[in-house]
Every structure is written in C-alpha cells, then in structure tokens.
Amino acid sequence: MAKMRAIEAAVHVLRKEGIDTAFGVPGAAINPMYAAMKAVGGIQHYLARHVEGASHMAEGYTRTNVGNIGVCIGTSGPAGTDMVTGLYSATADSIPMLCITGQAPTAKLHKEDFQAVDISSIVEPVTKWATTVMEPAQVPGAFQKAFQIMRSDRPGPVLIDLPYDVQMGEIEFDPDLYEPLEPSKARATRAQAERALEMLNASERPLIVAGGGIFNADASDQLVELAELLNVPVIPTLMGWGSIPDDHPLMAGMVGLQTSHRYGNATMLASDFVMGIGNRWANRHTGSIDVYTKGRKFVHIDIEPTQIGKIFGPDLGIVSDARAALEQLIAVAKEWKAAGKLADRNEWVGQCQERKRTMHRRSDFDNKPVKPQRVYAEMNKAFGQDTCYVSTIGLSQIAAAQFLHVYKPRHWINAGQAGPLGWTVPAALGVAAADPERKVVALSGDYDFQFMIEELAVGAQFNLPYIHVVVNNSYLGLIRQHQKGNFDIDYCVQLSFDNVNAPELNGYGVDHVAVVEGLGCKAIRVFEPDDIAPAFARAQELMKEFKVPVVVEIILERVTNIAMGAEINSINEFEEILDVE
C-alpha cells in the first residue's frame, strides 16, 4: 500500500476507470484535484469559459462513442449550481456523466462559509446519485461506486462533492489493486422474446420503434439485423436517429409533432402493432395517447422498470437492456425463419417505402432572404454520410430533423428532453475532443448560438475544429410560432436591432462574425441562397487549415413557420409540400 492524498487516489481511480479527458474550471476549493491531476498525469483537461459549458462538453464527449464517460470539474458554490442544467440534460437523456465539485472544509459546512452550498441536495432530483464525501478514506470507494452507478441499468449522471480537507487528507491506497465494479444490466428471457415475436407475427402491419437506449446498449447492428430478419420497418425516435441508416429500405421515417417526417407519421397511423425498444414514449413523439395507440398493440422493451406503463400500459412489457433483448429476439427469429414461421411482410414494407418515396416537404427554394429549408438541402449535399450533426432545440433543430439525413449511430447528437439553449457550442466541442477524426457539423439558431458563444474560445485554444451552421432570423422563432398560433401575439421574441457597427446586417442585430473572430475562430456570412454551397466548401477548407471552429452564418427571412401540430394525424404543413409521383 502507498500513502497519498485522498484526491490523488481519486485521480488514480479515474485513470483505472478509463478516464483520460476532463472539462472544467479550477478554483480554490478544487485546486487539490488539479494538483493531483498534474502529479498523476494522463488526463487531458479542457479549460471551459463557464462551468455549465464544461458540463455540456462532458455530455457531448459521452454521447460520441460507446463507453465514454465525460467528466466535468468545478469549484465550490456557484460552480456546482452552474452544472445543474448539464446534469438535468444528462439525466433526461440517460447519459452517464461525472461531475466533481470542490467544497468548503467539513468543519465549516454548517457555518454559511464562502461558497459553501449543499450541492448534493440541490442536484439530487437530476442525478442518479449525488454525495458529499465526509471522510478521506471513503473517497476511492465513492468514485468506484459512482462508475458502477453510471453504467448500471438506465445510465445517468453522478455528482461527487469533495470538501477541501477531505481532498487533502492522507490515506492508504494501492492503485495496482483497484478493479472497477461490474455494472448491472437487466436481460430479457427466451420466453419473453418468443411472446413478443408471437404478437408481432400475428399482426399485419408491424413497426419497430428504436429509441436512444439502442445507442446506450451499442445495439444498432442488432437492431438492423432483427429488422432485416423480420422484414419489419423501423421508426427511430429523435434520440434513436441513426440507429438504422436513413437510406436503409426498412427505415420508415420519424414520428412526432415536430421532429418528424410526413411519411413517418403516415406509416405509424397505418400500423397495427408497435414494438418499442429502448424508448420512453416522449410526448413530442406520441402526441395524445388516444391518437397514438388507437388500433394498435404495443410491446415495450426498456431497461428501466418504471418506464414500463409510465405513459400507457403496453400489451407486453419487458425490462431489459436493448442489446440483450435484441440478441434473444434475433435468436428466436432465426429459428422461426429457418422453419418458415415468419409472416410475409413484402406488401406492408412496399407501402411504407412508397410513402417514404412520395411524401416530402419542399426544400428547393431560391428566395432571398433565404428560406431555412434551402439551408438543410445544401447541408445534405455538402457534408456527406459520415457527418455527425450536433443540435439542441428551436425551429432550427426541428427543421433539421425534418430535412437532414443521418446514416450512422451516434451521428445525431441532440439534447432531447431538456433542450437547453446554449448547449450546442460546448456539446460540439465535447464531440470534437472525443473523436478528432469525426466530421462534426453543429446547427444553431441565433439565440441558441448567443447563449454560450464564449465557449468557441475553447475550440480556438485547444484546436478543436468543427463547422457551426447558424441560421439567423433574429427571432426566438419557435416561441414566436407558438405565441402566434396560441395567443395571436408577437411579444418579446424579436432579437433585431440596428447595429451601429454593422449596418450591412439591416436590423439583424448581433454581428456574429465579429464576435466569432474575436474569440479566435473563423466565420463566413451568407445572404444569397446560391452562396450557401460555396460557403460550406470554404468552411471545410478553413477548418482544415486553421484547426479551429468555423461558423457559417446564413441570414434567413425573418418569419418561416415550420411544419408541426398538436397530433400526429393533424400536422400543419405551412410551406408547399411535394407528393412525388
């Protein structure tokens, strides 16, 4: 055994658990950890400009590759409260992430000491586990438990709060003897798989709904294998987009009130059976339960027992890790196929493919100012099938989900349930840090972009290149559309003003190009629709040359209504739609 500070033992545990990257902001109460990281070595640290930004970088890092766990570090007091949004976002989307905060000495926790706050109590509702460690000798065990909790069952974030004296306390610890704890995963049985396939086989028009749990289980290949064995179309949720390639014959489109395809909604409404795997029946996917469930039976497979029946009672619920369930389903399906027991789905698949071929929204507009639909059409042409898109919320994200294409797992990275403005810039930086070879293209409206624009300096400082497309209508576009549709107002949602330093913006307000360049990055502004493609080409050249984020700002028409509705059977199509013959 070796004698060392407790915080040095914590860093050794991080390394043993596979951590080699962290995002954070140092401060007095967490400086012992920074000293330990320097002494132990092996962890690349990215200095954020805001602790919330660091938490979103850690989220993006986790979401990029199987097995990743992003780490965010902050000092005491407001650093922890700044992390709350990141913890909420990670909890909502089942993302494992470790947040580490410094804390006032244990003897002063009850004395309203400077920046002493009960952060573990504050974040309890938005974490899987949160703890303030009160004894130095308990630090290694707390970190060991944290990793087991994050990886077990439904993944999620953990916060460990470390008082200054606890970090500095000396303990006995031998890193060579450390072993991670085995995470727990629920597994479907053979009998459950047989029952689920009996129900599917008895239906005429079945679908598989694939959620984000497919990615957490690293089960995209198994999903596609099962779909192909059964010849059953797949509807990915927004969080499951990319689990089956967009151009796969069995990819039937997305369903929902906003981030959906016309053909996806039409296919769902035509179905009579749905098997949901690793999804949670989110309300913006389902709309009202009466419309979503009418005339069809459901099997729901999810790793979290409390998700079964939370939104509606399925005809069969199975608590299981997605991969474990898919492996059982594949084994049964192979036997049934060999025995000729699987139903013929060619007619149903053909109907789904015809809807996918014909039911599209128009995107080939030549208008000036630019219509947003044109932007996404140009992105599809410019960036290719290996592109990883990062976005969070707003009309920009909704339109992106309607028009863009995703072909690979974990190549649509989105803050789904929480949807915090400002998430996109730091999350994209986290993705770039996790996979330097990946082609990363982020997408923001102007307001999301402004929320945490300062984090672009992190990309410049640490050479994290990616392309950020900013569609600028100088409006809170989604909120304006909701105000107009529900209250007939347009109130406090305009971002436009005459910028005395940039008259060429004609009332669009903030000069994003100047701000971006001031932060050490590159930027291009586009006014004409025919200039979008050349701008994207130039952005890729600049990114390779300078190894920094490159922003392409496209000035849009001020008001564009994007297709959405209150039910999946009553979507408002505001722009011209195409029914291809």
Q: How confident is the model at residue 578 (pLDDT cuts 50, 70, 90)?
A: low
Q: How confident is the model at residue 577 (pLDDT cuts 50, 70, 90)?
A: low
Percent of the residues in the chain that have a pLDDT greater than 90, as a whole number: 83
Question: Catalytic site residue 562?
Answer: no
The catalytic residue among 13, 14, 25, 69 is: 25
Q: How confident is the model at residue 493 (pLDDT cuts 50, 70, 90)?
A: confident
pLDDT at 506: 83
Q: Is the pLDDT of residue 295 over 80?
A: yes
Listed range (281-290, 340-349, 378-387, 554-563) with the worst mean pLDDT: 554-563
Q: How confident is the model at residue 110 (pLDDT cuts 50, 70, 90)?
A: confident
Q: How confident is the model at residue 480 (pLDDT cuts 50, 70, 90)?
A: confident
Question: Catalytic site residue 25?
Answer: yes
Q: How confident is the model at residue 326 (pLDDT cuts 50, 70, 90)?
A: very high
The catalytic residue among 7, 13, 40, 51 is: 51
Q: Angle, nearest 10°, between helix axes 6-16 and 139-151?
A: 30
Question: Catalytic site residue 47?
Answer: no
pLDDT in tens, 58-83: 999 999 998 999 999 999 999 999 99
Quote the pTM value. Answer: 0.94
- The CA dihedral of 356, 409, 216, 455, to the nearest 10 degrees, is -110
CATH architecture observed for domain 190-359: 3-Layer(aba) Sandwich (3.40)
Hey, do 2-177 and 362-577 end up sharing a CATH topology, with the first three levels equal? yes
> In the predicted model, what is the mean pLDDT of the chain?
94
Question: Catalytic site residue 250?
Answer: no
d(CA 207, CA 240) in angstroms, rounded, equals: 15
The catalytic residue among 244, 421, 443, 554 is: 421
Question: Catalytic site residue 479?
Answer: yes
Question: Where in the chain are the domains?
Answer: 2-177, 190-359, 362-577
Which CATH number describes the domain made up of 2-177? 3.40.50.970
d(CA 235, CA 248) in angstroms, rounded, equals: 12
d(CA 423, CA 425) in angstroms, rounded, equals: 6
Residue type, 136: P
pLDDT at 17: 97
Q: How confident is the model at residue 434 (pLDDT cuts 50, 70, 90)?
A: very high
The catalytic residue among 479, 493, 495, 513 is: 479
pLDDT at 286: 94
Q: How confident is the model at residue 107 (pLDDT cuts 50, 70, 90)?
A: confident
Average pLDDT of the residues in 39-68? 96
CATH of 362-577, one of 3.40.50.970, 3.40.1020.10, 3.40.228.10, 1.10.3720.10: 3.40.50.970
Separation in Å, CA 159 to CA 76, 100, 110? 12, 6, 20
The catalytic residue among 232, 250, 274, 476 is: 476
